Every structure is written in structure tokens, then in C-alpha cells.
């Protein structure tokens, strides 16, 4: 929890320090749990309810780390034009609860979409079965 104190100290003098602190804590620990909320509230002289209200408002903040593999699927215009929305049902079914699907807006493979990324690996020209395979291998 010493690290949270360092994060607070690093950002406390900024205008609107709460969001940068929350992002930094989530990046460091993978979540913003109740103990972190209390420390942040104390460090910024806010109520815990103030901090929790912000944490719970933004879906990006997690109250516990999500350790599932992540598959990023591009749903920007070029990939939409190339059919990504038509293969999302297959993606969702393949992912189930085991894999976390996230939406990104462009992976730089616009002419070869639909595109997805797992870690550093890019996948292009995906159809339903190919995307399902990517997800199953994640
Ligand atoms: S729009 Fe999907 S990779 Fe660019």
C-alpha cells in the first residue's frame, strides 16, 4: 500500500487528481479495491463515497483483478465494413466466461479486417471460425 501513497503524492497537486490516481492504481495493481479507495480518499481529503462513486461510474475500473486472457476486436469503420459485426456472436460464444473480449477502434489493419489482437499478436482477415479459433487459443 506504500505504492498507493507514492501514486497519490505524484498526482495530488494536479488539477483533478482523482482520475489520474485511479488509472495509475489500476495499472499498478490491476484493480481499485476497497482498501485502495479508502487510501485514496484519505490522501485527497475526500469521502470514501466520493471515490467509490467515481470508481463505480467508470466501467474500466475493476474492484478485483481480471486475470482472463484478453482479445481485442476492432470494431471501427473499416472492420465494420468488412463484416466484424456479423461475427461478434461467434466471438461472444467462443469467449464464454473464460476470455475477456474488448473493443478497440483500429489496429492498423484496416484493409485486412476484421482484425483482432491478443497480446502483441495481430490477426487479420478474420471470419467467424477464424476469430473463434483466435479466442480459443488466447
Ligand atoms: S478499422 Fe479495424 S483495423 Fe483499422
Pairing state between β 121-123 and 70-74: unpaired
Q: Is residue 64 part of a domain?
A: no
Q: Candidates 84, 104, 106, 117: which one to mutate for ligand 1, based on the most atoms within 8 Å of Cβ?
A: 106
One domain, residues 84 and 132? yes
83 CA distance to ligand 1 centroid (A)?
Answer: 11
pLDDT at position 99 is 97
Containing structural domain, residue 21: 2-57
pLDDT at position 1 is 76
Q: Find the residues whose C-beta lies inside 6 A of ligand 1.
A: 74, 76-79, 106-110, 113, 115
One domain, residues 48 and 91? no
pLDDT at position 59 is 85
pLDDT at position 60 is 84
Residue 98 DSSP class:
T
Q: Which CATH number characterizes residue 96's domain? A: 3.40.30.10
Pairing state between β 116-118 and 70-74: antiparallel
Domain count, the chain: 2
- Mark out the alpha helices in the chain (DSSP H runs): 2-11, 18-29, 34-44, 48-57, 77-81, 88-95, 128-137
One domain, residues 86 and 36? no
Is the CB of residue 82 less than 8 Å from the CB of residue 116? no
One domain, residues 133 and 74? yes
Q: Is residue 65 part of a domain?
A: no
Q: Where is the domain boundary, 29, 57, 85?
A: 57
Q: How far is CA 20 from CA 9, 23, 110, 124, in A?
A: 12, 5, 31, 34
One domain, residues 74 and 133? yes
80 CA distance to ligand 1 centroid (A)?
Answer: 8
The sign of the dihedral angle between the CA atoms of 24, 68, 101, 130 is positive
- pLDDT averages per 10-residue partition of the chain, 138 residues: 93 95 95 96 96 93 92 97 96 96 96 96 97 96
Amino acid at each position: 500500500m506504500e505504492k498507493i501513497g507514492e501514486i497519490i503524492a505524484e498526482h495530488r497537486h494536479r488539477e483533478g487528481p482523482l482520475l489520474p490516481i485511479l488509472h495509475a492504481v489500476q495499472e499498478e495493481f490491476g484493480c481499485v479495491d476497497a482498501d485502495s479507495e479508502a487510501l485514496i480518499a484519505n490522501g485527497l481529503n475526500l469521502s470514501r463515497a466520493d471515490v467509490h462513486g467515481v470508481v463505480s461510474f467508470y466501467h474500466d475500473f475493476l474492484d478485483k483483478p481480471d486475470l482472463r486472457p484478453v482479445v481485442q476486436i476492432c470494431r471501427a469503420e473499416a472492420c465494420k465494413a468488412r463484416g466484424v459485426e456479423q461475427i461478434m456472436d461467434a466471438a461472444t460464444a467462443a469467449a464464454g466466461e473464460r476470455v475477456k473480449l474488448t473493443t478497440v477502434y483500429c489496429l492498423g489493419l484496416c484493409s485486412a479486417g476484421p482484425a483482432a489482437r491478443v497480446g502483441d499478436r495481430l490477426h487479420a482477415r478474420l471470419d467467424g471460425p477464424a476469430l473463434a479459433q483466435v479466442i480459443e487459443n488466447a
